[in-house]
Amino acid sequence: MPTGLIFAKYNVRSGLEIKVKFPEDISELSDKTLMHVINLHGFTKEAGIASLNIEAINFITYYSGSDTDYFLILILNTHEDPDDYEEVFEKGSKEILKNLEDNKYIKLIPTLYKQILESSLTE
């Protein structure tokens, strides 16, 4: 079962800036792990999904593309298959990105996380 969801924006000077974590008490990702997230999408600069399992952390990410540079990161347990979450995660990520104005996305993050958890129970 996923352990958390992070919404972040890339900043040229400081790297990934965490905007929202859900649940709020999830562990911070190391700077090294955040660099892996950036590098996963860095070559194409196009919107899309990628996943990686490194250093006892497993995650799937959605990148908004280089026009806006937003990242959603779903943290998984090491034994989980990111492909199991791809469809619901991509759909929810796109919905979050449609609601950036006036920070409307903040209220949608818990909803997306709940949808992901529910989808994992039906798999």
Question: Whose CA is closest to 85, among 95, 73, 96?
Answer: 73
* Domains by residue range for the chain, with CATH: 4-122 (3.30.450)
pTM metric for this prediction: 0.91
What does the pLDDT look like over 40-76, one tens digit per residue?
Answer: 887 778 899 999 988 788 999 999 999 999 999 999 9
d(CA 63, CA 87) in angstroms, rounded, equals 14
CA-to-CA dists, residue 118 to 40, 81, 103, 114, 122, angstroms: 27, 16, 25, 6, 7
Residues 6+ apart with CB under 8 A from 52: 36, 37, 40, 58, 59, 61
